[in-house]
Amino acid sequence: MIGKLIASGFGDFLNLFYPDPCLLCQNSLQNGEELICTVCRLQLPETGQHRGDALMAGQTKFAGKVPVEFVDAYLYFTKRGKTQRLIHALKYRGHKEVGHLLGRWYGYQLKTDSQLNEHIDLIVGVPLHPAKLRQRGYNQSDWIAQGLSEALEIPWSDRALTRSQYTISQTGKDRMERWENVSNVFQVGEPDLVANKRILLVDDV
Ligand SMILES: [Zn+2]
């Protein structure tokens, strides 16, 4: 405990001289800022969909297979934009804590602006292919799920869904074949966790 206190005190001390840079603009982070500076945060291309009536149902590949109540996205994606750079840091530069931060920010918005949290029982990240999970060491969607869980005060699980080794290309397949393909790839991990639950499924792109 004392060792930890000293270590964290020493970290603060070092930060006086070498403050962490913002992941996006490289400017030094100020007190209370975490990973992304306030200027960059305010420039994030939020969709704001959850504030309107754009919580779309039934327009996904799940349409007609699993009852989907809504679909929403936190940020717009533009090539070489802030979202792409954050996703890149999250997936390829080991910054899993970016997922947790974005999940929290999004979760607080959802809680403030919608009644969504009253309609969800469990938060689940889409599992990574096992080979990719071994290579990366973490599932970025699980980190987003944990951030959402903290903000929305709803449990999350990384055991509800599993993903098999089996993957075949989705290109050149029609809608039905793609669905059959996906249903072979994902399985329910622990049926008791998901039975009769309303699930918020989290994917990173
Ligand atoms: Zn910045």
Cα(80) to centroid(ligand 1), Å = 15
Average pLDDT, the chain: 85
Read off the pTM. 0.82
Position 97 scores a pLDDT of 97
Cα(135) to centroid(ligand 1), Å = 29
The pLDDT of residue 29 is above 60: yes
Position 36 scores a pLDDT of 97
Of 192, 106, 190, whose CA–CA distance to 149 is shortest?
Answer: 106
Cα(53) to centroid(ligand 1), Å = 31
List the helix and strand counts (H, then E) for the chain.
8, 5
Cα(43) to centroid(ligand 1), Å = 9
Of 152, 147, 148, whose CA–CA distance to 115 is shortest?
Answer: 152
| Block residue for tokens 């327009």 | 59
Query: Confidence band (pLDDT; 50, 70, 90) for 69?
Result: confident
Of 155, 163, 140, whose CA–CA distance to 193 is shortest?
Answer: 155
Q: Do the beta carbons of residue 111 and residue 152 sit within 8 Å?
A: yes
93-102, 137-146, 161-170, 176-185: least confident range: 176-185
Position 107 scores a pLDDT of 96
Cα(204) to centroid(ligand 1), Å = 21
Cα(25) to centroid(ligand 1), Å = 4
Residue bearing the bigger pLDDT, 134 or 165:
134
The pLDDT of residue 179 is above 90: no
Rounded to a whole number of angstroms, the distance between the first and last alpha carbons of the chain is: 39
Cα(170) to centroid(ligand 1), Å = 37
Cα(67) to centroid(ligand 1), Å = 40
Decide: helix, strand or coil at residue 112: helix
Q: Do the beta carbons of residue 75 and residue 47 sit within 8 Å?
A: yes
Position 120 scores a pLDDT of 94
Cα(37) to centroid(ligand 1), Å = 4
The pLDDT of residue 13 is above 90: no
Position 49 scores a pLDDT of 81
Position 78 scores a pLDDT of 85
